[in-house]
Amino acid sequence: MALPLTNLTAWFDFSDNTTVFEAAADPAEENDPVELIVSGNSINRGLSWIGATGDRPTYRTSAPVMALSNSQWTSASRLGLYSASGSGAQAMSNIVANNAKTLIISIYPTAIDANNANPYDNDYIFGDGATGFVGLYLKNPSAGVYEYLAYNFDGTADAVALTLPDGLNASYVLMMTHDGVNIVASVNGDTPSSVASGNTTNLGTQCQLGALSTPAFVGYIGEVVAYNAALTGSTLDDAVNYFTAKWLGAGPAPGGTRTSFGSAIIF
């Protein structure tokens, strides 16, 4: 299954180590800290490390918890969106519109701690950084229960909340679309849920993957894409199926333990 390329604005694949770098012109190897990953499909942008040197995510390929190359992240790891030349931070508005967006990501969470009423106060994965107007979050509403939040702010904080069926230490593909009318979200390609939500109020802050502050994502990230369109129908199915076939190993299926997530970066 090929990833649809129409309206694709960012594609960061940690299984492709030709795009992942410890430093400029220095491809990442096992256990290297990640400084930069450039987008696939010849898109002129990349994610670059922000913050303290010791907080960079770690590139992993051996004894992977995911099926392919991945990255390991701590609660302090974060990468910010820039032009591929490394100059000029890029806002969320560079990759999505206030009424047209699709975000898909493969993750393997090892801890989820936050349980806050506001969606944007929970464990942050990917979105518009510190302003918290749109993004993907994780929540721990009660003991042993973990949720994915697909969030948008249109004047009120709207979110689709979906249970992560296998808890911690399992692989997930998270999808969110937003068309200025509804947020639609799914986990592992299962039946999507939706909630009404109007245009995103503000997309002017730098897009970030990983920590913008505590609480933030802890675990592994394999791949993330963004589209400046709310994908629907067979195009959305193809994009989700690309992720589930690659990162879950068996395509969309409800329930069941999934622990085959391969090389990635660790947060």
CA distance 209 to 48: 9
Give me the pLDDT at residue 234, please: 97
Amino acid 235: pLDDT = 98
Provide the pLDDT for residue 25.
80
Which CATH number goes with the domain that contains 257? 2.60.120.200
Is residue 168 assigned to a domain? yes
The predicted structure's pLDDT at residue 154: 98
Q: Assess if residue 226 is contained within a domain.
A: yes
Q: Which helix (H) or strand (E) holds 245?
A: helix 233-247
Contact, 89 vs 103, CB < 8 A? no
Tell me the CA distances in angstroms from 156 to 114, 115, 118, 141, 194, one per residue in order: 20, 19, 10, 20, 16
Task: Tell me the DSSP string of 142-176.
Answer: ETTEEEEEEEEESSSEEEEEEE-TT-SSS-EEEEE
Residue 1 lies inside a defined structural domain of this protein: no
Parent domain of 166: 8-266
Answer yes or no: is 3 within a domain.
no
% pLDDT > 90, the chain: 63
Q: Is residue 150 classed exposed, middle or buried when 0-12, 13-18 and 19+ CB atoms within 10 A define those classes?
A: buried
The confidence score (pLDDT) of residue 253 equals: 36
Q: Which is higher by pLDDT, 80 or 162?
A: 162
Whether the predicted pLDDT of 266 surpasses 60 = no
Query: Is residue 172 a contact partner of residue 109, using CB atoms and an 8 Å limit?
Result: yes
- Which tens digits make up the pLDDT trace of 163-205? 999 999 999 999 999 999 999 999 999 999 999 999 999 999 9
Give 39's contacts (C-beta < 8 A, 6+ positions apart): 10, 11, 12, 19, 45, 46, 84
What does the chain come to in residues?
Answer: 267
Average pLDDT of every residue of the chain? 87
User: Longest Cα pair distance anywhere in the chain, in angstroms?
Assistant: 45
Give me the pLDDT at residue 257, please. Answer: 33
Contact 248, 173 (CB under 8 A): yes
pTM summary value:
0.92
Based on its alpha-carbon atoms, the radius of gyration of the chain, rounded to whole angstroms, reads 16
Of 51-55, 59-63, 204-208, the least confident: 51-55
Residue 138 lies in a domain: yes
Read off φ and ψ for residue 113, nearest 5 degrees: -115, -30
The answer to whether position 86 is within a domain reads: yes
Number of domains, the chain? 1
Please give the pLDDT value at position 214: 65
